[in-house]
């Protein structure tokens, strides 16, 4: 089987590649990534020389490049992680998000129709559902929850989801969609909450927290997410949406305080800043469907996952310090310049 993983040089995409190559050594894995600010080719260094792996630098919006890759590889499955995903950046520059997340998804699916595939899987987010009130812990997002987006980012992802399902209904394209809660783990870009707090705390820098830090998120270890997608592309029902959640809700401020405690840093580093525009209050996913249909449940307890994550950032300072310095952007040229 040949699988094209778009956005595979990013956080979740790279972890998915590692998972698939370890579990299915007979599969061919092709990573398509344009290496925008959050794509880091050095993350894939451990698999770059393997015979069943190929990296291609291209934009999913580039129809000619996408068609050429499909012509060369004749893939069986496409897993689309490629997306602009940072809410703050979407507020500053919505157009980039609309281009990549909507037009890019359509470009991929058009190639799927042209060349034929067994499955197109769209990786989405629980943010398409909007948010839940803090005083109703009994409420959860299900696959039937109406879409109610809050940011240009989540709106672009919701549009891509609807487009994906429309391609199934209109053209019969074999698609699935997964909507996941907040991921954490190795190789997460250091602008996101957990790696940002770890890196800043290690450098004794301020730990910026929006508002009072009372916003609640459902946290899932990235490896558990990868296992869920693996199940969906192999056994999930075509045309269906699957929610993937960790059943692990925590306030942002409690996450930050926990990181301070584990690193032996004072809570005085915490700095409260003006809240984000349209900041969602609470995300919480009910993963009952994927559990009952596919047997998936999160395996990693948060206390174990966060300890492993902190250890990884301690052991891989060079990886995130290179990103912070901006040097990681030159890695592709070092690897492929002049070739």
Q: Which of 33, 59, 84, 126 is catalytic?
A: 126
Q: Which three-class secondary structure string do you get for the chain?
A: CEEEEECCCCHHHHHHHHHHHHHCCCCEEEEEECCCCCCCHHHHCCCCCCCCEEEEECCCCCHHHHHHHHHHHCCCEEEECCCCCCHHHHHHCHHHHHHHHHHHHHHHHHHHHHHCCCEEEEEEEHHHHCCCCCCCCCCCECCCCCCCCCCHHHHHHHHHHHHHHHHHHHHCCCEEEEEECEEECCCCCCCCHHHHHHHHHHCCCCEEEECCCCCEEEEEEHHHHHHHHHHHHHHCCCCCEEEECCCCEEEHHHHHHHHHHHHCCCHHHEEEECCCCCCCCECCECCHHHHHHHCCCCCCCHHHHHHHHHHHHHHCHHHHHHHHHCHHHHHHHHHHCCC
184 annotated active-site: no
Please indicate whether residue 311 is annotated as part of the active site. no
| Token output for 97 | 């998000």
Q: Which residues contact 315 (CB under 8 A, 6 or more apart)?
A: none
Give the Cα separation of 67 and 25 in Å (integer): 26
Q: Which residue in 33, 84, 127, 161 is the catalytic one?
A: 127
Is 153 one of the annotated active-site residues of the chain? Answer: yes
| Active-site residue, from 153, 187, 283, 331 | 153
Phi-psi region of 247 (alpha: psi -120 to 50; beta: other; left: phi over 0): left
Positions marked active-site = 126-127, 153
């Amino acid at each position: 089987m040949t699988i094209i993983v778009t956005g595979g040089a990013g956080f979740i995409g790279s972890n998915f590649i590692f998972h698939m190559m370890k579990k299915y050594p007979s599969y061919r894995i092709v990573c398509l990534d344009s290496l925008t600010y959050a794509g880091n080719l050095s993350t894939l260094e451990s698999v770059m020389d393997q015979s069943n792996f190929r990296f291609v630098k291209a934009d999913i919006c580039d129809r000619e490049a996408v068609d050429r890759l499909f012509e060369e590889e004749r893939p069986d499955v496409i897993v689309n992680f490629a997306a602009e995903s940072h809410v703050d950046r979407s507020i500053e520059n919505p157009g980039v998000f609309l281009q990549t997340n909507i037009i890019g998804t359509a470009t991929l699916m058009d190639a799927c129709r042209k060349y034929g595939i067994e499955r197109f899987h769209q990786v989405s987010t629980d943010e398409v559902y909007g948010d839940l009130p803090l005083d109703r812990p009994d409420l959860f997002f299900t696959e039937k929850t109406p879409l109610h987006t809050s940011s240009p980012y989540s709106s672009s992802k919701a549009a891509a989801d609807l487009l994906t399902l429309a391609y199934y209904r209109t053209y019969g394209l074999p698609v699935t969609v997964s909507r996941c809660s907040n991921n954490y783990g190795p190789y997460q870009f250091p602008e996101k909450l957990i790696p940002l707090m770890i890196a800043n705390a290690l450098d004794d820098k301020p730990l910026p927290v929006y508002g009072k830090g009372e916003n609640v998120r459902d946290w899932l270890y990235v490896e558990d997410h990868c296992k869920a997608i693996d199940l969906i592309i192999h056994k999930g029902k075509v045309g269906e949406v699957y929610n993937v959640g960790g059943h692990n809700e925590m306030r942002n401020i409690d996450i930050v305080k926990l990181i301070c405690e584990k690193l032996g840093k004072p809570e005085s580093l915490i700095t409260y800043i003006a809240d984000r525009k349209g900041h969602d209050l609470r995300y919480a996913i009910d993963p009952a469907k994927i559990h009952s249909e596919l047997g998936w449940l999160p395996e990693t307890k948060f206390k174990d996952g966060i300890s492993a994550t902190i250890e990884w950032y301690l052991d891989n300072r060079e990886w995130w310090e290179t990103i912070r310095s901006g040097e990681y952007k030159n890695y592709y040229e070092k690897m492929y310049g002049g070739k």
